[in-house]
Structure 1
Amino acid sequence: MDQFNVLIVDDERDMLDGLRRILPYELEKTNIVVTHSPLQALELAAASPFDLILMDVRMPEMSGIELLEQIRAMDSKATVIMMTAYGSIETAVQSIKLGAYDFITKPFDIPDLVRLIKKALERSGLIRENQSLRQRISEKTVLEEFVGQSPPMQQLYATIRSVAGTDYPVLIRGESGTGKELAAKAIHTLSRRCERGLVSVNCPAIPEHLLESELFGHKKGSFTGALKDHKGLFAEANGSSLHLDEIADIPVSIQTKLLRALQEQEIRPLGSSRNIKVDVRILSTTNQHLENKILDKSFREDLFYRLNVVSVETPPLREITEDIPLLVHHFNRLSALELNCTPKVVATDVLEVLMQREWPGNVRELKNFVRRLIIFCPGEELSLSVLKMVDGRHAARPVPDNTIESEAIEPYAEAKTKAINAFTDEYVRDVLSRTGGNVSQAAKMAGLSRVALQKIIRRMNMIPGEYRSE
């Protein structure tokens, strides 16, 4: 580590001035930052993690115990030393229980303080080295979930690595089925917030009258049905990242409250009279053109700029066709695991056909198609005949003639029912694939009511969740 960063928080300015002058001479390669304000200390710690924080227990703006709790909520690995002129076993035990590294009583000898700081920095250095090692392992693991070596995919990997190390909001854009959710997970996993799990919400899946409560929480009795307090997703994601899936579909009424939460870094639960500070990184995904929604007044321009500090684009499959063989082999192995069978041998001519096809549902559509190939493949090889059997678009159409086949023909009603069911199955799977399993969007695309589409889905034994973004 090139240099240690140490933050000292104390409302006694003389104490701060003395430590700022003395400690740089006693500690090598150490940058000392001081503040008399606990609130400013929180802002500094949120902007960049410190290797060590020394804080007074009694301060007028906020107690050291409360500051310790908030610092540890932001960074569970933070190394903190408590200082006080009011030494007591109770205070010491309480601070240690809350995660403080150690405790020193004022007035203290500088050599004693220096020894304690050096010991704490040694611990902090080991923690950072361990985090760095885990980060490198995590990066290798999380990027292995992506498949593809084409230039657009290499650019995506590089962008994910670059933005993961920041705390800026990220807007991930791309067509349905291109891996936007996977990109959001990768950014979070490679960030300093990875110790806390990624919190995700599919915005259009929650009714408008419940979305505000789901995001910001509510107090018991704040509305009909509010039988107990609900903390909300922002509070749940405090110190972590919040993934807002399909952000374009969030109602305008909620957009205003979301903008305020991003600007002020605080929320107010429904029915509450006080604001709650939160430290949340927003990762948004959309398959829509937000600029067009801004023009038709269905999306706030100021919110767009807040969310789009950093932009990530996931490429459509038509731009990475050279990766299709890798993807097919990957999905072949995954499907074999799911179905408890041996992976198939994929014929070269099958790969050539798949590379020439159009995939409006992108990688997700390809994945589902490969799964169907595995299910219906009778032998060990995925041949062109299997592909033609599964997908009629690749089968040769029979030439009609005037002769009557000698083999029996199904009654009209039965044949019609089978044809309708086959069409319905293929059609509904297609719209679900294109919308990432979002039933509301699929119903809108199909020109059906949500209830009508849900009835069809149940009748066809489909699971919309299987079509969620990868």
Structure 2
Amino acid sequence: MSKQRLMIIDDEKDMLQGLSRILPQELENIQVETFSSALSGLESIKRQPVDVLLLDIRMPEMDGMEVLTAVKEIDPWITVVMITAYGSIETAVEAIKKGAYDFITKPFEIPDLVRVLNKALERSLLIRENMNLRKKVSEKEPFADFVGQSPPMRRLYDGIQALAGTDYTVLIRGESGTGKELVARALHELSPRSSRRMVTVNCPAIPEHLLESELFGHKKGAFTGAEQNHTGMFLEADKSTLLLDEIGDLPVSIQTKLLRVLQEREVRPLGSDKSRKVDVRILSCTNQDLEARIQDRSFREDLYYRLNVVTLRTPSLSEITEDIPLLADHFLRSVCNELGLPLKRFSVAAIQSMMHKSWPGNVRELQNFVRRVALFSPEEEIGAADIRVAQDSLYGSAESRQDQDSNGKAVKPYQQAKEELLENFTREYITRLLGQTEGNVTRASDIAGISRTALQKIMRRYEIRSEDYR
């Protein structure tokens, strides 16, 4: 963190020398600059912002009240503390009305001055952080990864903006594939904590016997294999944000310990007899019905209310179908850039086909589907036929999706049917491609958007010879 800038303007040079020597020892992370001339001090403030100004009222060159007015015209947010040997209620009130933050009377004790300046520096820091936050919100940078302008998405954006500047604990709920982690990242990036890295814990990915250590840390020798101290994710996230992903899968044994940390705001590493205070904002995600889990006693009700201070819900794709054209176009451009393919586009019929399809996997399923379509569609414009081919290769044809075929026989096992459909699709696609290019493998690989080597591997796998098409 860069040092805060404290400026002192006073015509008593001895006091300036004393304060410039003492204050850096009493106040943390500050840079002290002194001026015996009010005009010189004002010129310096014009060149570089000041966090706190300690200003004498009685000076020969320019009255302190005049300096205060001039300073507020240069920077309305600067925190000013006035000093005077002629302290009175009237003078204090006048200084406060003109924008001073506080008032101290000569002769003063150093501890009293330090106390006032500490509060002034803290106020200045909060103001600067709030200004940076508002700038980020206005620039809308953290929403660059979001796509969609439907009413449910607009409500989600409004909720993120309203909560980002707070320290509220937020529970982000929604189906799998709806962007819950994206919401958490936006909440962090728009917050005053964004200068520090957000720490993410994928609760079900860590074995239960290791999860406590990963969350809260451990001391060397706390258990077999603990060969050195481990910080733990709560302490890593101190002064930042901790995301507990898939919180519904947290074991009950860990839920109890997590509840204590949230209540006490302190962490005790395994094997330690001392607790450490932590300043962590908690975000959590789940696609589970936590209320039902409370009923079957697999999730603690008191922890639920600790985590569910405020809820944000990510809409399913079925709720934002009007955003599918925007999403599909965004994913298509991304995959073409990622794979080095010529830029492609969807036809109106292709978009309509995707808008009428069910997407149980939500936005993530749509993204994966678009990747496949982009990879296997040879033309610049992707049509409805390409959508059907990709859909059949992934989910099975319309016939194979029925319980029985036309002869009344049971359908094949899913994996077998999928492999056969994929093989038929690939074989048909490659033969059509080579027919179009008259057996020219290089041209065929360019049209397919895959490397020549990859195409040759596919041809060998299906025993397709380019010579047969020349």
Same-fold status (TM-score > 0.5):
yes
Please tell me whether Structure 1 or Structure 2 has the larger radius of gyration of its CA atoms: 2
For residue 384 of structure 1, report the CA deviation from its aligned partner. 1.5
The one-character-per-residue Cα deviations of 1:234-266 (angstroms, maximum 9, x if unpaired) are: 000000110000000000000011000000000
The one-character-per-residue Cα deviations of 1:178-224 (angstroms, maximum 9, x if unpaired) are: 11000010111111111111110100000000000000000001011
- Large movers: runs of 4+ above 2 Å: 76-81, 87-96, 100-104, 106-130, 132-138, 393-398, 416-425
CA distance, structure 2, for counterparts of residue 136 and residue 259 of structure 1: 32
The one-character-per-residue Cα deviations of 1:93-112 (angstroms, maximum 9, x if unpaired) are: 6667x5234599x9974599
Trace 1:40-119 onto structure 2 (pairs within 5 A): 76=1, 79=4, 99-102=29-32, 109=107
Q: Secondary structure at the match of 2:172?
A: strand
Root-mean-square deviation over aligned CA pairs: 4.0
2:236 matches 1:306 = no
CA distance, structure 2, for counterparts of residue 116 and residue 277 of structure 1: 25
For residue 368 of structure 1, report the CA deviation from its aligned partner. 0.5
The one-character-per-residue Cα deviations of 1:307-342 (angstroms, maximum 9, x if unpaired) are: 000000000000110110010001011111211123
Q: Secondary structure at the match of 1:262?
A: helix
The one-character-per-residue Cα deviations of 1:5-33 (angstroms, maximum 9, x if unpaired) are: xxxxxxxxxxxxxxxxxxxxxxxxxxxxx
Q: Which amino acid aligns with 1:216?
A: F
The one-character-per-residue Cα deviations of 1:152-194 (angstroms, maximum 9, x if unpaired) are: 1111111111111211110000000011000010111111111
2:355 matches 1:355 = yes
TM-score by length of 1: 0.62
Alignment-derived partner of residue 265 in structure 2:
265
CA distance, structure 2, for counterparts of residue 311 and residue 129 of structure 1: 23
Q: Which amino acid aligns with 2:365?
A: E
For residue 422 of structure 1, report the CA deviation from its aligned partner. 5.9
The count of residues paired between Structure 1 and Structure 2 equals 331
Q: Is the alpha carbon distance of 1:395 and 1:249 closer, same or farther for their aligned partners in structure 2, counting shifts above 3 Å?
A: closer
Identity within the alignment, %:
51
Alignment-derived partner of residue 280 in structure 2:
280
Kindly indicate whether the alpha-carbon contact (under 8 Å) linking 1:387 and 1:394 is maintained by their aligned counterparts in 2. no
Alignment-derived partner of residue 177 in structure 1:
177
Gaps of 5+ in 2: 7-17, 34-53, 55-103, 408-413, 424-470
Q: Which moved more, 1:144-153 or 1:255-264?
A: 144-153
Q: Is the alpha carbon distance of 1:320 and 1:389 closer, same or farther for their aligned partners in structure 2, counting shifts above 3 Å?
A: same
Gaps of 5+ in 1: 1-75, 82-86, 403-415, 426-470
Q: Is the alpha carbon distance of 1:390 and 1:230 closer, same or farther for their aligned partners in structure 2, counting shifts above 3 Å?
A: same
CA distance, structure 1, for counterparts of residue 240 and residue 418 of structure 2: 48
Alignment-derived partner of residue 224 in structure 1:
224
Kindly indicate whether the alpha-carbon contact (under 8 Å) linking 2:396 and 2:418 is maintained by their aligned counterparts in 1. no
TM-score by length of 2: 0.62
Alignment-derived partner of residue 211 in structure 1:
211
Q: Secondary structure at the match of 1:285?
A: strand
Q: Is the alpha carbon distance of 1:134 and 1:77 closer, same or farther for their aligned partners in structure 2, counting shifts above 3 Å?
A: farther
Q: Is the alpha carbon distance of 1:120 and 1:300 closer, same or farther for their aligned partners in structure 2, counting shifts above 3 Å?
A: closer
Q: Which amino acid aligns with 1:355?
A: M
Alignment-derived partner of residue 432 in structure 1:
none
2:115 matches 1:136 = no
CA distance, structure 1, for counterparts of residue 420 and residue 3 of structure 2: 59
Q: Is the alpha carbon distance of 1:357 and 1:102 closer, same or farther for their aligned partners in structure 2, counting shifts above 3 Å?
A: same
By relative contact order (CA 8 Å, sep 6+), the higher-ranking structure is: 1
Q: Which amino acid aligns with 1:99?
A: N
CA distance, structure 1, for counterparts of residue 4 and residue 267 of structure 2: 28
Kindly indicate whether the alpha-carbon contact (under 8 Å) linking 1:388 and 1:394 is maintained by their aligned counterparts in 2. no
For residue 421 of structure 1, report the CA deviation from its aligned partner. 4.0
Q: Is the alpha carbon distance of 1:127 and 1:381 closer, same or farther for their aligned partners in structure 2, counting shifts above 3 Å?
A: same
Kindly indicate whether the alpha-carbon contact (under 8 Å) linking 1:77 and 1:127 is maintained by their aligned counterparts in 2. no
Q: Is the alpha carbon distance of 1:80 and 1:261 closer, same or farther for their aligned partners in structure 2, counting shifts above 3 Å?
A: farther
